[in-house]
Protein backbone atom coordinates (compact mmCIF):
# COMPACT_ATOMS: atom_id res chain seq x y z
CA UNK A 1 0.00 0.00 0.00
CA UNK A 2 1.23 3.48 -0.84
CA UNK A 3 2.43 5.71 1.95
CA UNK A 4 0.28 8.78 2.58
CA UNK A 5 2.07 12.12 2.63
CA UNK A 6 1.77 13.68 6.09
CA UNK A 7 0.98 17.15 4.72
CA UNK A 8 -1.73 15.74 2.44
CA UNK A 9 -3.28 13.89 5.38
CA UNK A 10 -3.18 17.03 7.51
CA UNK A 11 -5.11 18.86 4.80
CA UNK A 12 -7.72 16.11 4.55
CA UNK A 13 -8.10 15.29 8.23
CA UNK A 14 -10.99 17.69 8.84
CA UNK A 15 -12.88 16.18 5.90
CA UNK A 16 -12.24 12.66 7.15
CA UNK A 17 -13.27 13.47 10.73
CA UNK A 18 -16.44 15.22 9.62
CA UNK A 19 -17.26 12.22 7.43
CA UNK A 20 -16.75 9.75 10.26
CA UNK A 21 -18.74 11.87 12.70
CA UNK A 22 -21.57 12.24 10.17
CA UNK A 23 -21.89 8.44 10.31
CA UNK A 24 -22.15 8.50 14.11
CA UNK A 25 -21.02 10.59 17.09
CA UNK A 26 -17.72 9.41 18.54
CA UNK A 27 -14.81 10.25 20.83
CA UNK A 28 -11.19 11.02 20.01
CA UNK A 29 -9.40 7.71 20.43
CA UNK A 30 -12.20 5.79 18.74
CA UNK A 31 -11.85 8.14 15.76
CA UNK A 32 -8.11 7.39 15.68
CA UNK A 33 -8.91 3.67 15.59
CA UNK A 34 -11.50 4.14 12.83
CA UNK A 35 -8.98 6.08 10.74
CA UNK A 36 -6.39 3.36 11.26
CA UNK A 37 -8.92 0.63 10.45
CA UNK A 38 -9.71 2.54 7.26
CA UNK A 39 -6.09 2.33 6.11
CA UNK A 40 -4.40 5.33 7.72
CA UNK A 41 -2.08 3.21 9.83
CA UNK A 42 0.26 6.04 10.76
CA UNK A 43 -2.33 8.57 11.93
CA UNK A 44 -1.31 9.87 15.35
CA UNK A 45 -3.48 10.85 18.26
CA UNK A 46 -1.44 14.04 18.37
CA UNK A 47 -2.93 15.11 15.04
CA UNK A 48 -6.53 14.04 15.64
CA UNK A 49 -7.15 15.85 18.93
CA UNK A 50 -6.01 19.28 17.68
CA UNK A 51 -8.09 18.74 14.52
CA UNK A 52 -11.16 18.02 16.66
CA UNK A 53 -10.48 21.20 18.64
CA UNK A 54 -10.34 23.19 15.37
CA UNK A 55 -13.62 21.66 14.20
CA UNK A 56 -15.16 22.62 17.54
CA UNK A 57 -13.83 26.21 17.33
CA UNK A 58 -15.35 26.57 13.87
CA UNK A 59 -18.69 25.29 15.17
CA UNK A 60 -18.65 22.27 12.86
CA UNK A 61 -18.85 19.75 15.71
CA UNK A 62 -20.59 19.91 19.05
CA UNK A 63 -18.98 18.19 22.03
CA UNK A 64 -20.80 16.45 24.84
CA UNK A 65 -19.69 14.24 27.70
CA UNK A 66 -20.72 10.64 28.32
CA UNK A 67 -20.06 9.07 31.73
CA UNK A 68 -17.60 6.18 31.69
CA UNK A 69 -17.83 3.06 33.80
CA UNK A 70 -14.09 3.39 34.39
CA UNK A 71 -12.43 6.73 34.85
CA UNK A 72 -13.54 10.18 33.75
CA UNK A 73 -16.32 10.86 31.27
CA UNK A 74 -15.52 10.76 27.57
CA UNK A 75 -15.82 13.78 25.33
CA UNK A 76 -17.89 12.82 22.30
CA UNK A 77 -18.43 14.90 19.19
CA UNK A 78 -21.38 15.15 16.82
CA UNK A 79 -21.58 17.08 13.56
CA UNK A 80 -23.49 20.36 13.83
CA UNK A 81 -25.75 21.66 11.04
CA UNK A 82 -22.90 23.97 9.98
CA UNK A 83 -20.60 20.94 10.02
CA UNK A 84 -22.89 19.06 7.64
CA UNK A 85 -22.74 22.05 5.29
CA UNK A 86 -18.95 22.15 5.60
CA UNK A 87 -18.70 18.42 4.93
CA UNK A 88 -20.79 18.77 1.77
CA UNK A 89 -18.62 21.68 0.57
CA UNK A 90 -15.37 19.83 1.29
CA UNK A 91 -16.61 16.67 -0.43
CA UNK A 92 -17.57 18.69 -3.50
CA UNK A 93 -14.14 20.34 -3.48
CA UNK A 94 -12.42 16.96 -3.11
CA UNK A 95 -14.40 15.46 -5.98
CA UNK A 96 -13.54 18.42 -8.21
CA UNK A 97 -9.86 18.19 -7.26
CA UNK A 98 -9.66 14.47 -8.03
CA UNK A 99 -11.27 15.09 -11.42
CA UNK A 100 -8.69 17.77 -12.19
CA UNK A 101 -5.85 15.49 -11.05
CA UNK A 102 -7.15 12.67 -13.24
CA UNK A 103 -7.46 15.04 -16.19
CA UNK A 104 -3.97 16.48 -15.75
CA UNK A 105 -2.25 13.15 -15.13
CA UNK A 106 -3.97 11.07 -17.79
CA UNK A 107 -6.70 9.45 -15.74
CA UNK A 108 -6.93 7.31 -12.61
CA UNK A 109 -3.76 5.42 -11.83
CA UNK A 110 -3.64 2.18 -9.93
* pLDDT tens figures, 17-50: 999 999 999 999 999 999 999 999 888 889 999 9
- Which helix (DSSP H) or strand (DSSP E) does residue 91 occupy? helix 81-105
The CATH code for residues 6-105 is 1.10.10.10
* pLDDT tens figures, 50-63: 999 999 999 999 99
Contact at 8 Å (CB) between 63 and 57? Answer: no
- A 10 A CB-CB count for 55 gives 23
- A 10 A CB-CB count for 21 gives 25
Contact at 8 Å (CB) between 94 and 15? Answer: yes
Collapse the DSSP code of 65 into the 3-class scheme (helix H, G, I; strand E, B; otherwise coil) and give the result. strand
Predicted TM-score (pTM) of this structure: 0.88
Amino acid sequence: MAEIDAQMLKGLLSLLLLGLLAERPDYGYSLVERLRDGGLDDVAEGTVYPALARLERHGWVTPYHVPSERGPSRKYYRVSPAGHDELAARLAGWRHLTQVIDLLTGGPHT
